[in-house]
Amino acid sequence: MKHFSFYGRKRTLTLSTGFHILVATSIIGCGKAVDHPQSTSKDFKVALVTTGSVSDQGWNAGAYRGLLRIRDSLGAHISNVQTQTPAEIDENFRQYGSQGYNLVFGHGFEYQDPAIRVAPSFPKTAFVITSGANTAPNVASVQFAFSDGAYLAGIVAGAVSHSGTIGTIGGTQLPPVVSAFRAFQAGARSVNPNVKVLSAYVGNWDDPSAAKEQALAQIARGADVIFQNADAAGLGVFQAARQSTGVRVIGSNSDQNAVAPEVTLGSVVIDLPRAMLMIARDVKDGTFTGHTYHLGDVEGVVLWRGNPTLSTEISPETQAKLASAKKALDAGQLKIPE
Amino acid sequence: MEAFLEGVVRTATPLALAALGETVTERSGIINIGLEGSIIAGALGSVVGAAHGGVWAGFVFGAVCGLAVAAIFALFAVVLRADQIITGTAVTLLALGGTGTLYRLIYGSAGAALNTPTLNPAAIPFLSKIPVVGLALFAQPSITYVLYALIPVVSWWMYRTHAGLALRSVGENPAAAIAAGVRGKRVQFTAVLFGGALGGVSGATLVLAQAGTFVEGMSAGRGFIAIAIVVLGRWNPLGTVLAALIFGAASALQFYFQAIGTNLPYQLFLAFPYVLTLIALAATHGRVSAPAALGRQDLELE
């Protein structure tokens, strides 16, 4: 989930961003959207606003892939902007609203309140917040049951750990991150009631060097499986594991199994493209209403995806436990602590 | 304990490199707030360099990129005598944005992830066997040893050579220095470039000796921390490196506290290094004397 870096100067970015725009936005200090030249249709316009870089191989990268899929599947005209400071969110939304965009995704918890404020001025635009619960006539929220996947990841971590100590490393303490870590802990306790869970936060989402130090500190305390949810900074956790012996990592949000296949047990994946396309279809078909979408394991949006390279490290018994927990989740029989 | 001390030196290394360069820059009377920009440019440059010529090519290209960013600053702040703070801020913003854009142009929105070659720790025989501090000081990536070598070299140059005297005199009393035949602008320009190059090496260290990847904005404020460290180290090369170690210790303590698990809010620990810096700055206030001409833009230097 995401996040502003603590001194947050970030860049608007699309593939067509010119250097002059970059300079202009640096000095003016506000995000300026650049339309994608590949767009094919002017009728259906979809925008994505993120707080972090879409090259983070995680939360934001997944949303960008979702935007591209909407373009490819629905022929939408797409645009993407990166918010630099929280104060700019309203302005980002207004820009897209006034340009007549049909659908604007605010990708993260931070976008909830600005959407509620701005939405009444642009009744023809659907605002969708991808992590939240606020709704209005033209504002929908998505609640990803990320905890479903985090619980399953916890089962794997609890079973694979030899030391009986596992760790979680987050960017900042956002509510969705905290509840994911709680679910992870519950999953681990379900297979090893005595497992010790260490927890640390980097304090931002883009300092991999600091995240690596957090991971090394946990490893020095005996942690041998670490669940990272720190976006781009989280890459440092993989690097720490690669330089230590017998340490395994579980990735978040996107399928991160390819980032460091030799140390990654699996990833808790949010299939953002699938979810975003689903919502975009609703908007295009005119069936969109301002409500909360609950998307999780049973909808095929949140998944545990094991890394085939290390599949032998997860025993058949653990695989069986995973399968039965998944079944219980889908049937609504398993309640995960919030 | 040893893991903690190793963390101290690892965290301090990039800070010390950047702060050492900024010390030289500030002794010439220029405060380069654009240091953060040199660090992030060095980080991106190191990924590109390392991809084409290995780790050391990465460090060299990182230094070149840091120097290039500093050259932009020097053009405005030294040659055209623009306001140093405003120029430095603009340069930092330009570099943070520019590196993000270039990174995506070069590697696409998927990024390069962890495919950059990295420096592994190289233990020095005998020295690394010293109890307690041996591993922390002498089982580090070799860029840390480059830093060790730079400290006496920069000190000797600054205090024992004519060029070093010229640098200090321009920072203290430019009129007298120029009357004595020192070419003020040239001295300041070179000092800014040196600081930028070391800033670039600092950024390269983050990538090639630590994270193993470039991430947009990964400099994460280290340039500004390095500027505070220069003050804490009293504009003296050795003092600067010691101040960087203090900051490194505060950060490593923060990692350690989080890892042992306490019920205190983690934000307290994250703030710890900064609070310590503030206290240290306050405690040394009055006994510290900055170069007299530091930050002055109204000087006639030639």
Determine if the pTM surpasses 0.80.
yes
In chain B the domains, ranked by start, together with CATH numbers, are 2-117+124-283 (1.10.3470.10)
ipTM above 0.90, yes or no: no
Q: Is B215 in contact with A235 (Cβ distance < 8 A)?
A: yes
What's the pLDDT at B110?
63
Q: In this complex, which of B92, B104, B251 lies closest to A13 when CB atoms are compared?
A: B104
The answer to whether the beta carbons of residues A200 and A167 sit under 8 Å apart is yes
Q: How far apart are CA A127 and CA A135, in angstroms?
A: 9
* H or E, element range at A46: strand A45-50
Contacts of B270 in chain A (CB under 8 A): 201, 203
Work out how many CB contacts closer than 8 A connect A with B. Answer: 163
Q: Do B213 and A25 count as a contact with CB atoms less than 8 A apart? A: no
Pick from B106, B118, B205, B255 the residue to mutate for testing the A interface (most A CBs within 10 Å). Answer: B255
Query: Within an 8 Å CB–CB cutoff, is residue A208 touching chain B?
Result: yes
Map out the domains of chain A with their CATH numbers. Answer: 19-144+272-295 (3.40.50.2300), 147-269+307-330 (3.40.50.2300)
Q: What is the DSSP letter of A105?
A: E
Q: Specify the pLDDT at position B302.
A: 63
The CB-side HSE value for A240 (13 A sphere, CA atoms) comes to: 32
Contacts of B296 (CB under 8 A, 6+ apart): B29, B174
- The pLDDT value given to residue A8: 34
pLDDT of residue B165: 94
pLDDT tens figures, B215-250? 889 999 999 999 989 988 889 999 999 999 988 998
Length of chain A: 338
A204 with B11: Cβ contact below 8 A: no
Give the H or E element holding residue A248. Answer: strand A248-253
Query: Of the candidates B98, B111, B120, which has its C-beta nearest A57's C-beta?
Result: B111
List of chain B residues whose C-beta atoms are within 8 Å of the C-beta of residue A235: 113-114, 211-213, 215
Per-residue pLDDT of chain A (338 residues; tens, 9 = 90+): 444 433 333 333 333 333 333 333 333 333 344 444 444 445 899 999 998 888 777 788 889 999 999 999 999 999 999 888 888 999 999 999 999 999 999 998 889 999 999 999 999 999 999 988 889 999 999 988 889 999 999 999 999 999 999 999 999 988 889 999 999 999 999 999 999 999 999 998 889 999 999 999 999 999 999 999 998 899 999 999 999 999 999 999 888 888 899 999 999 999 999 999 999 999 999 999 999 998 988 888 998 999 999 989 999 999 999 999 999 988 888 888 76
- Say which residue the tokens 């309140």 belong to: A113
Is residue B263 within 8 angstroms of chain A, CB to CB?
A: no
B212 vs A235: CB contact, 8 Å cut-off? yes
